[in-house]
Amino acid sequence: MAGIVMKGIDKVYDKAETKSVDNFNLDIKDKEFIVFVGPSGCGKSTTLRMIAGLEDITAGELYIGDRLVNDVAPKDRDIAMVFQNYALYPHMNVYDNMAFGLKLRKFKKDEIEKRVQNAAKILGIDKFLDRKPKALSGGQRQRVALGRAIVRDPQVFLMDEPLSNLDAKLRVQMRAELTKLHQRLQTTTIYVTHDQTEAMTMATRIVVMKDGVIQQVGTPKEVYDLPENIFVAGFMGSPAMNFLKTRLEDGKAIVGEHTFKIPEGKMKLLRERGYVNKEVVLGIRPEDIHDEPLFIEASKDTTFEAAIEVAELMGAETFLYSNIGEDQFVARVDSRTDASSGKNITLALDMNKAHFFDPETELRIR
């Protein structure tokens, strides 16, 4: 097993006007489960492919362990990859599917047998080794694809959207299984996804990317609670954080016709940074907008009336869609709420949880 160090990595495709990956710097510790997350085209898969050696590195240095691998052939990097497509051989049984890569690398028969049996046991597919992929469920097929990577016992696993082909229920199940698998094998893993929930639930650290540039690196909690900028704040969390155009006065945030008291701790910082009497963006997560009478009673300085346009019952919770000032917002409240579409209700912001962003730089004010 090994850590990975990326120093100033750039990727520019032939004739491209812009960098697909721009000055990527990251130090991945041995045994970490790192997730690259971002919208499509943000450079996360390109970065993974550079680590794999499938793409040339335009500039910068890539180390796996202590070894500079920029010019090392992919097969010699001691990595194993898992992709979205299972890419199983339909006419080979599970055993042969998992053994094929080892045969290619001229492993001895008894070593192949040992490794396949061991991986199959870890993945709970040891009873299916004689079956053809057609006779397996989607989740079992994905396990075979994982098994193919595990038998190699690599220093690093590289996974590119490996759960995207599974239905929603199975994806949740496999997410937990992958986490358990990582805890058991302790192999350094880099996992690419566009799904922020996967990132939040699986990662030891998350790398949020946009337009080829790292926006933030941190633990799931850090990225969620202390987003560096509006992009990260909006990308992590579902429904996304609400952003409200706000004018700051000393102690108050003015949103349209509504005034919200800002806790002194937050106001002190805003004052020190010179934002009094200036425009800012107020970020508030849907779960930090409340409709419970007790909270409203205790938060008289942060309440407002809202006309609910749509109330979506999700089961344990309800999403309320409405407008405040010039902006739309969504509140995530308990499903026992009285609110319904077309009704006016009182809501309160938990201003202790509010974030403030500079409207020009889009960075969190800190």
Partner 1 sequence: MLEALKAIYGQAFTYYNDQEHLESYYWFQDQAHIQFGIKKSAVTEKELQLLKLYYETVDQFTTPKSPAQKAWANLLFNGTEASNPKDSPGLSFPAYPIYIHFKSLPNDLAAFEEAMSALVSETPVLLWRENEAILILSEPSKRVVAEEIVDLMATEFFVDVAVMIGAIFYTAQLSKSSYEWHHQLFERFLRIYPRKRVTSLDHLIPIFLLENLSPEAADFMFKKIQNALSEGGTELKETLLTFFEHNMNVSTASKALYIHRNSLQYRLDKFHEKTDLDPKTFIDAAIIYIGILKYSLG
Q: Which residues have a Cβ under 8 Å from the Cβ of 266 and sit 6 or more positions away?
A: 351, 352, 354, 356
The pair of structure tokens assigned to 363 is 């960075």
- Residue 208 or residue 351: which is nearer to partner 1 going by CB? 208
- Residue 82 or residue 255: which is nearer to partner 1 going by CB? 82
Q: Measured from the CB of residue 225, what is the shortest distance to partner 1 in angstroms?
A: 21
Q: Measured from the CB of residue 97, what is the shortest distance to partner 1 in angstroms?
A: 9
Q: Measured from the CB of residue 239, what is the shortest distance to partner 1 in angstroms?
A: 11
Dist. CA 163–CA 129, nearest whole Å? 22
- Residue 15 or residue 366: which is nearer to partner 1 going by CB? 15
Q: Measured from the CB of residue 96, what is the shortest distance to partner 1 in angstroms?
A: 8
Residue 63: count other Cβ atoms within 10 Å of its Cβ.
17
- Residue 270 or residue 289: which is nearer to partner 1 going by CB? 289
Would you tell me which residues interact with partner 1 (CB under 8 A)? 13-18, 20, 39-41, 46, 49, 52-55, 73-75, 80-87, 89-92, 100-101, 103-104, 148-149, 235
Q: Measured from the CB of residue 165, what is the shortest distance to partner 1 in angstroms?
A: 10
Q: Measured from the CB of residue 79, what is the shortest distance to partner 1 in angstroms?
A: 8
- Residue 95 or residue 275: which is nearer to partner 1 going by CB? 95
Dist. CA 170–CA 283, nearest whole Å? 33
CB 331 within 8 A of CB 291: yes
Sheet with strand 59-64: strands edge to edge: 21-28, 4-11, 59-64, 67-68
Dist. CA 24–CA 102, nearest whole Å? 33
Backbone angles phi, psi at 125, to 5 degrees: -120, 15
- Residue 100 or residue 319: which is nearer to partner 1 going by CB? 100
Residue in 351, 346, 260, 258 with CA at minimum distance from that of residue 297:
346
CA atoms within 13 A on the CB side of 244: 29
